[in-house]
Structure 1
Amino acid sequence: MAKCLCMHSTACRNRFSMKSPFAVPSSRLPRPAALALVLAFTLGSGSAWTQGSSDTPALGTSPQALVEYARQRNPGFAAARAEASAAYERVTPAGALPDPTLEVELMDATNTMNGRPASLLPGQVGETRYRITQPLPGWGKRDLAVKAAEAQATQADAMRDAAWAELAAKIETLWLRYYAADRERVLNREGLTLLQSLEELALARYALGLLPQQAVLRMQREITSQRLALVEVEQRRKGLATGLNGLLGRAHDAPLAAPADPPLLPEGLAPGALFEAAAGTNPEVQVAANDIDVARAGRERTYRDRLPDFAVGVTNNRPYEGKSSWDVMFEVMIPLQQSSRRAREREAEYMLMAAEARREDARARASGELGTAWSMYAQGRETLRLLEHTLLPQAQATRDASQAALSSGKVDFDSVIEAERQLIDIRTQRLKAELDTRLALTEIKKLTGDLK
């Protein structure tokens, strides 16, 4: 033992005595500097370890984190947000006065009256006139323009919210499918592990002549089928992860964490309150309602066009030889084109009627879609209750009984395989029912405007 320890210490001395190209001779490194270098490496390693052990939740564990990420990174929603901001910037110019105009008029540019050569320079002609004109909209037209621009900005907000609700619903839907694929993969792996253990037992019995070859072959076929199902669900899980990354504005192969269990399904969903919310706070209904405000503001502006517009101006007259003088101009637009004006008024009325009809259509569609989603949710809740409290316990008891009977030689492997297959099918059916129920709940939240 002492010899081994001596050899080990000698090897350690030889190893540490090897010269490194980055080594500093001890004679050239003062002791305080060496201590500072050791402390720097120690603190740096500790900092790196702290950063690596951060407890920040990984992206993909819950749909809420994905939705918040998409709120900042999704390009489509960024475009809708920018359009809404641009609509608000149009409010101030809508109520502003038109820009004035400046005119320079050269009277007698040929200088016929004074016998000089023709000229196009101000002050070198018979008379130069400088005129500034300011158009003035009729009474109340600027206020109505501001009102119409505000209505359009509010409509842009509603369209942005509708786009966001659609995007959030897509993200949550894809995440739920991603979650179901991940759980289905776990179930398939558990089933494959059990079948492989049964295969070992079957091969052992077959070697002893206690089991026919057909039972072993069927067991291997079941294992192959289970592996194929596992490959299919893994590829589906990867495809769903790619789709989620696309909605988040990330690279298609960006990693996503394994999904965590979603919260429990709510118990007390009142249909009456849901239908009332769908009629009032549904994003599409909100867009249609704001479209009515826009159409109403447009109609008021059209009727206000019956009043004339005005313009005022000031002119400075400067003759070549003589005193300057000032003129004041007042201009009125004469509303003579009554036929075209009445056509525009009828158009505004029809546009308002169309907007009101679109709102009612949006309410009817929201109510119909909510009825379908509510029916699917209620059906899914009942299906889950039957599966969890009746079929699944029965299948588990049947599987356990068949395995116990196999140990005592009372049943064959076919019965055990069939019991295990039924348990896997019922677990998969329960997972599918949970997915359908949660998808229906997501649709309900989208239709009632609960996805913010």
Structure 2
Amino acid sequence: MAAHWVLLGAGAALALGLTAYASAHAQTAVPLGATVDGLLTAGRSLSPALRAAALDTEAASARAGGADTLDDPTITDSYTYYKDPNVFSGHTVMLTQAFPLWGKRSLRREAALADVNASRGRERAAQDELDEKIKVAYAQYDLTARDLAVNREIAGLARRMRSAASARYAQGGGDQIAVIQALGEETTAKLEDVRLGGAYEAARARLNVLVGRPANAPLSQAIRARPIPAAEPALEMLVERARAANPTLAASTATMEAARTRSTLADKAWYSDVTIGGGPLFQTNNRPVGFAATIGLNIPVPWGREAAGQDEAAAQLGASQQRYEATRLEIEGALAESLARLRAARATEALLRREAMPQARAAFQTVLINYSQGRGDLTGAITVERQTHDVELRVLQAQLDEQVELAAIERLIGGDL
């Protein structure tokens, strides 16, 4: 009995420990939407487009499984009739099977397997394209939230200007027009807050749809943007990675291999295949059952079918080779463009942060203080406030441009940078 209670106590302690661990794990789990990694994982598991691409690959694999199988056998029943009573008529039941020769079956399988590889490449390309869309949408989601924060700071500054204008007017040092101007700036900030709120909801809806969730599903606020690599990548390195890992390029390579194999198969259409058959022979005189056997070869004749097949296969091979070259050049060109835009965005953000932003903030504080002390006019303060707001927005836009180009580069090279 004592041992029984000891076991029960140990079991209860274990259960409590597991419950506490699960509770702590749930509390430390990052909510969906907080980081881009969680959204990427959700998209890869929930996206209907990715599931469709996976089913296309499954269908290609199923076709490859039967690519090298023999055609269905044929059963025939032939009746031979003789008018001569000394020669007995009879039925011949024949089962025949065609056997492709010269490695045709293996070539069919090779071509089908190349089709599977091409489908896998397209599936991976669909995933990379979805990843890029999620990364860009997340950057817009995060940018809009930060834009809202900046606009609320601007609204606070507008309230300060209104208070200063009202105080100055009350002391007889200003005019009513300045107070109305300050109120107009405050109203403009409120209207911008409404617009940005709508943009934020739209960005959230787009993210939800991209990961296969209802558009109005709850989504956590973004807590951090994806980091931009500190070291600027070299174009040569990016091109090399794209040639090795870009899934669209891999799919194009596999398509080219399938076309090459089918071209070889078309050349072998001029080589005969063999058909073998056999079966029982039933005579009408009730004699013992005999046996009949047959062997045959198909005769490729120059009526145009084989030659047309060769021409078609050669044209398809040439087309696949040209598509591969076009895809390769397009990828390399897109990499060069995205890298140039990434460099420009990084340089723009650095310059804005290092020079334009401190200058604008210092100018605004100086003008606002002077106006509060009765020096200067409100028009100058409003102008400097708008310049400050513009610099803040340009910084955010430069950061968005960096995220967009980073996502494009990662799609083109087939992996994270």
Q: The TM-score by the shorter chain falls in which range?
A: 0.7 to 0.9
What's the secondary structure of 2:28's corresponding residue? coil
AA of the residue aligned to 2:131: A
User: Which residue is equivalent to 2:237?
Assistant: 273
User: Which residue is equivalent to 1:5?
Assistant: none
Question: What is the Cα deviation at residue 106 of structure 1?
Answer: 4.8
Question: Is residue 182–residue 237 contact of structure 1 (8 Å, CA) maintained in 2?
Answer: yes
Map 1:362-381 → 2, pairs under 5 A: 362-381=327-346
Give TM-score scaled by structure 2 length: 0.88
2:391 equivalent to 1:418: no
Question: Is residue 36–residue 226 contact of structure 2 (8 Å, CA) maintained in 1?
Answer: no
AA of the residue aligned to 1:356: Q
Instruction: Return the match for 2:101 from 138, 143, 146.
Output: 138
Instruction: Return the match for 2:261 from 292, 297, 319.
Output: 297
User: Which residue is equivalent to 2:165?
Assistant: 202
Whole-angstrom CA distance in 2 between matches of 1:113 and 1:202:
128
User: Which residue is equivalent to 2:398?
Assistant: 433
What's the secondary structure of 2:101's corresponding residue? coil
Q: Which has the larger radius of gyration?
A: 1
What's the secondary structure of 1:54's corresponding residue? helix
User: Which residue is equivalent to 1:307?
Assistant: 271
What do residues 215-270 of structure 1 show as CA deviations (whole Å, max 9, x unaligned)?
10000111111111111111111112112222111111111111122243213211
User: Which residue is equivalent to 2:119?
Assistant: 156
Question: What is the Cα deviation at residue 202 of structure 1?
Answer: 2.8
Whole-angstrom CA distance in 1 between matches of 2:262 and 2:376:
82
Whole-angstrom CA distance in 2 between matches of 1:85 and 1:113:
61
Q: Structure 2 vs 1, CA of residues 112 and 200 (structure 1 numbering), >3 Å: closer, same or farther?
A: farther
What do residues 81-125 of structure 1 show as CA deviations (whole Å, max 9, x unaligned)?
1111221222221111222222234555xx9999xxxxxxxxxx9
Question: What is the Cα deviation at residue 69 of structure 1?
Answer: 0.7
Question: Is residue 173–residue 374 contact of structure 2 (8 Å, CA) maintained in 1?
Answer: no
Whole-angstrom CA distance in 1 between matches of 2:108 and 2:416:
33
User: Which residue is equivalent to 1:57?
Assistant: 30
What do residues 251-295 of structure 1 show as CA deviations (whole Å, max 9, x unaligned)?
111111111222432132112211233344333322222221011
Q: Structure 2 vs 1, CA of residues 247 and 406 (structure 1 numbering), >3 Å: closer, same or farther?
A: same
Q: How many residues align?
A: 395
Q: Structure 2 vs 1, CA of residues 342 and 126 (structure 1 numbering), >3 Å: closer, same or farther?
A: closer
Whole-angstrom CA distance in 2 between matches of 1:201 and 1:405:
10
Q: Structure 2 vs 1, CA of residues 207 and 226 (structure 1 numbering), >3 Å: closer, same or farther?
A: same
2:307 equivalent to 1:332: no
Question: Is residue 387–residue 430 contact of structure 1 (8 Å, CA) maintained in 2?
Answer: yes
Whole-angstrom CA distance in 2 between matches of 1:322 and 1:53:
85
Question: What is the Cα deviation at residue 53 of structure 1?
Answer: 6.5
User: Which residue is equivalent to 1:98?
Assistant: 71
What's the secondary structure of 2:139's corresponding residue? helix
What's the secondary structure of 2:203's corresponding residue? helix
What do residues 168-209 of structure 1 show as CA deviations (whole Å, max 9, x unaligned)?
111111111111111101111121123223323433443343
AA of the residue aligned to 2:228: L
User: Which residue is equivalent to 1:448?
Assistant: 413
Q: Structure 2 vs 1, CA of residues 396 and 364 (structure 1 numbering), >3 Å: closer, same or farther?
A: same
User: Which residue is equivalent to 1:16?
Assistant: none
What do residues 59-84 of structure 1 show as CA deviations (whole Å, max 9, x unaligned)?
11222211111111111111111111
Runs of 5+ in structure 1 lacking a partner? Answer: 1-42, 115-124
Whole-angstrom CA distance in 1 between matches of 2:168 and 2:270:
100
Whole-angstrom CA distance in 2 between matches of 1:428 and 1:95:
62
Question: Is residue 165–residue 451 contact of structure 1 (8 Å, CA) maintained in 2?
Answer: no
Give TM-score scaled by structure 1 length: 0.81
Instruction: Return the match for 2:214 from 251, 267, 292.
Output: 251
Whole-angstrom CA distance in 2 between matches of 1:347 and 1:69:
43
Q: Structure 2 vs 1, CA of residues 432 and 235 (structure 1 numbering), >3 Å: closer, same or farther?
A: same
Q: CA RMSD in A?
A: 2.5
Whole-angstrom CA distance in 2 between matches of 1:407 and 1:196:
13
Runs of 5+ in structure 2 lacking a partner? Answer: 1-15
Question: What is the Cα deviation at residue 50 of structure 1?
Answer: 4.5
What's the secondary structure of 1:135's corresponding residue? strand
RCO comparison, higher one (Cα < 8 Å, 6+): 2
Whole-angstrom CA distance in 2 between matches of 1:335 and 1:272:
51
Whole-angstrom CA distance in 2 between matches of 1:415 and 1:339:
85
Instruction: Return the match for 2:132 from 146, 169, 188.
Output: 169
